[in-house]
Structure 1
Amino acid sequence: MAALFTLSVTLSLLLGDGLNDSPDLVSSQSPIKRTSTATDLFKGKRQGHRSSALTLTASELLKKTSHTIIDNIGNTPLIHLKKLSAHYGVEIYGKAEYLNPGGSVKDRAALNLIKSANLESGQVVTEGTGGNTGVGLSMVASALGFRCYLCMPDNVSVEKQLTMKSYGAEIELCSTKFGKEDDGHYTSRAEKVARERGGVYVNQFLNEENFKAHYEGTGVELLEQFEEIEVELGGFACGAGTGGTIAGVGRRLKEVQEEVGVCLVDFKGSGLRSYLTTGKFKSEDEGSTSAEGVGISRLTKNFEKGRESVDGVVKVTDEEAVATALWLAQNEGVWIGPSAGGNVIGAVKYALYLKARGRESNVCTILCDGGASYMSKMYNKEWRDKNGLEGVEAKLPKVCGRFEKKADEKIFKGHVGGG
């Protein structure tokens, strides 16, 4: 469905059916007004074509492959969440990454990870994944003729598992009882399988191609889209799993518009809030978030690439994230997953904080994946009731402007990016 929607948007723009007249949907493929320093930075990029992450660094393999499904990764629409914005009195925008052909923001990283791996025909792409990266990798591997072996926690939604299998990937479920240092952890298993089978372990946590996908792609597109609609961007808010998205987008935004705020949205069980405010990783919650692929308690190389660009952090609860996602589906027609719901309500909290201090409160976030992957989980009332989310319904939560500033950079000296 995501691919069909993307195709229909592209055709509409080419045929001139008036879609561009809508203030709610902005395609980065439409004519762009360049009025800021972004013009000089990106003047080498062909106007109206795919972002530099997908053209300027394309591998020889991709040069032989044109007009395929992977050519539709990126250049996602920017959506103004009008009803939600009116409710809270701030302006919230979402970059609709769930409209990528594989259904999530992870398609971008997956493409970069594979195209930089120098794979030989018949080699196996191997990865440990919380779900969406696996879907992206299996799709890209299928399009380029590679096999894919994916290890993941056994609580990944059945929809994601079936999607990966549909693309031809072989999957292995690993118990969540194992810690990262254990041989049974899904990342450890993926690395071992790569060694045993002569495959390539792409390692989304360490591999900086993840960061580059957003520094050269997503961040560039956002700057262009806000120029196009002539809206001043006040802030960007986003959660972190590998850290590639917030690091890449945040760093690009800061390099072009230093005054733009960058806010980490942190979830239950994650140690990133503690790290940013004290310099030490410590989870302040019991248990972990029910949202898949978000929150982390170690420093990754990808997050480290953009850490200095992050100004601070807001915390969101699972209840807030799920309620927001349910409400958006029923009131804005925006059908997203729980981590995207958390991103949106986190962006609201940050925007309210900025507004209270007289700063520009137009805030953008990442709508990282779609609701179709969570029909058996978040969108299933019975599942919610059994997993600590009883009573959560499609109702916007009451929130206030909450934001904790990052500690002085001195406390981070000596930290080395890990896997």
Structure 2
Amino acid sequence: MRAWVREAVRRIEADANRSADTHLHVFPLPQEWGVDLYLKDESVHPTGSLKHRLARSLLLYGLVNGQIGPGTTLIEASSGSTAVSEAYFARMLGLPFVAVMPRKTSREKVALIEFYGGKCHFVDIAPDMYGEAERLAAEVGGHYLDQFTYAERATDWRGNNNIAESVFAQMRSERHPVPAWIVVGAGTGGTSATFGRHVRYRRHTTRIAVVDPENSSFYGAWETGAMDYSTGMPSRIEGIGRPRVEPSFVPGVIDEMLRIPDAGSLAAIRVLREHTGHWAGGSTGTNLYGAFQLIARMLAEGQAGSVVTLLCDGGERYANTYYNDEWLAEQGLDLGPQLALMEEFLRTGRWPK
């Protein structure tokens, strides 16, 4: 068993060493604004999303805690991207993997999980996936990876090449090397916890803003302080937003939260593509929309500086949904007003009231 675990850890670490750090792209803003916007491109990981980091951490956490051994079936509750990355690592270690997912998860993500040898187990009601994942793990004697509980503790926020350490290292030569704001969404809450803890540990003045889509519980919990706050409704923005507050959500390290309209998130990814050529998923749009609002505030207050956010995954996973005008119409989403709002911001630096 110990020999197998040593080899498993070696393989995962070797995969990390083979992957160069992810890029930090500049979003073009007028030089005279004195504010720079960067997007950390997590879509270039081997499995195409920010969740590659989380999956690696969760597998290592299970291995070093004696929860994963040869032949252990890995189970996860996921809206897609985490399961894609976990399936990749499960195949690397020769372990069976089952993703418990909402039936509405994009076809592209389902295909990727199956490509890596994973199996998909669907539930009709998104909140049911937690209990179903626990049941399956108990039934087969497997290990429930449980990203929503362990994301914040599986990642070392002090260093060890986490995403926060990487961002600050890449910013060292920029004109505003310490960001005024870092803007992230919350799916598990693990990313905001990592950034929030890291900036405090390193004594940076950077503030952390978490953007939350429609139907999500995180904003309500942060605003009211009620950690049992629940909407009971799924998010249309895959990868972020939850019907309940997840255990990995750490509100004490967050400086501000912004509620983002879904039409704004999906309009923002089209603005991103037009201005940079990058094709991203909906959660990136949520991030970008929030970053624009904070930049407008900085300009109104005469503040120079930098803002960093994340390009979470590629847009090819959403060709049949977020980039499909028929799907948008079925959802009752009109992107026109939001597109006009953002183009006005990019011309003037002002965010309409």
SS in 2 for 1:126: strand
- For residues 259 and 328 of structure 1, do their structure 2 counterparts lie closer, same or farther at Cα, with a shift above 3 Å needed? same
- Would you say 1:131 and 2:77 are equivalent positions? no
Q: 1: CA distance between counterparts of 2:230 and 2:296? A: 26
Cα displacement (A) at 1:123: 1.4
Alignment of 1:149-160 (within 5 A): 149-160=98-109
1:202 to 145, 161, 164: 145
- For residues 360 and 296 of structure 1, do their structure 2 counterparts lie closer, same or farther at Cα, with a shift above 3 Å needed? farther
1:350/1:401 contact within 8 Å kept: no
Alignment of 1:50-61 (within 5 A): 60-61=6-7
- For residues 325 and 87 of structure 1, do their structure 2 counterparts lie closer, same or farther at Cα, with a shift above 3 Å needed? farther
Which residue in the other structure is 1:362 paired with? 306
- For residues 272 and 150 of structure 1, do their structure 2 counterparts lie closer, same or farther at Cα, with a shift above 3 Å needed? same
Q: 2: CA distance between counterparts of 1:290 and 1:345? A: 16
- For residues 74 and 97 of structure 1, do their structure 2 counterparts lie closer, same or farther at Cα, with a shift above 3 Å needed? farther
Q: 2: CA distance between counterparts of 1:157 and 1:277? A: 31
Which residue in the other structure is 1:226 paired with? 171
Q: 2: CA distance between counterparts of 1:75 and 1:326? A: 26
1:188 to 131, 138, 145: 131
Q: 2: CA distance between counterparts of 1:148 and 1:88? A: 51
Deviation larger for 330-339 or 223-232? 223-232
Which residue in the other structure is 2:277 paired with? 333
Alignment of 1:219-258 (within 5 A): 219-232=164-177, 233-258=179-204
Q: 2: CA distance between counterparts of 1:72 and 1:123? A: 26
Which residue in the other structure is 1:3 paired with? none
- For residues 163 and 210 of structure 1, do their structure 2 counterparts lie closer, same or farther at Cα, with a shift above 3 Å needed? farther
1:190 counterpart letter in structure 2: A
- Would you say 1:114 and 2:63 are equivalent positions? no
1:332 counterpart letter in structure 2: T
Q: 1: CA distance between counterparts of 2:205 and 2:13? A: 38
1:352/1:361 contact within 8 Å kept: no
TM-score by length of structure 2 reads 0.86
RMSD (Å) for aligned C-alpha atoms: 2.8
Which residue in the other structure is 1:374 paired with? 318
Structure 2 spans left out of the alignment, 5+ residues: none
Q: 1: CA distance between counterparts of 2:219 and 2:12? A: 42
Structure 1 spans left out of the alignment, 5+ residues: 1-58, 404-419
Q: 2: CA distance between counterparts of 1:65 and 1:271? A: 37
- Would you say 1:347 and 2:296 are equivalent positions? no
Cα displacement (A) at 1:323: 1.0
Q: 1: CA distance between counterparts of 2:289 and 2:304? A: 18
- For residues 154 and 207 of structure 1, do their structure 2 counterparts lie closer, same or farther at Cα, with a shift above 3 Å needed? same
Q: 2: CA distance between counterparts of 1:335 and 1:242? A: 24
2:187 counterpart letter in structure 1: G
Which residue in the other structure is 1:408 paired with? none
2:209/2:258 contact within 8 Å kept: yes
Q: 1: CA distance between counterparts of 2:273 and 2:153? A: 29
- For residues 301 and 210 of structure 1, do their structure 2 counterparts lie closer, same or farther at Cα, with a shift above 3 Å needed? same
1:151/1:190 contact within 8 Å kept: yes
Cα displacement (A) at 1:173: 1.1
Percent identity over paired residues: 26
2:280/2:314 contact within 8 Å kept: yes
2:57/2:154 contact within 8 Å kept: no
TM-score by length of structure 1 reads 0.73
Aligned length: 334
SS in 1 for 2:148: coil
- For residues 109 and 67 of structure 1, do their structure 2 counterparts lie closer, same or farther at Cα, with a shift above 3 Å needed? closer
- For residues 290 and 101 of structure 1, do their structure 2 counterparts lie closer, same or farther at Cα, with a shift above 3 Å needed? same
Q: 1: CA distance between counterparts of 2:174 and 2:144? A: 41
Cα displacement (A) at 1:257: 3.8
Deviation larger for 325-334 or 389-398? 389-398
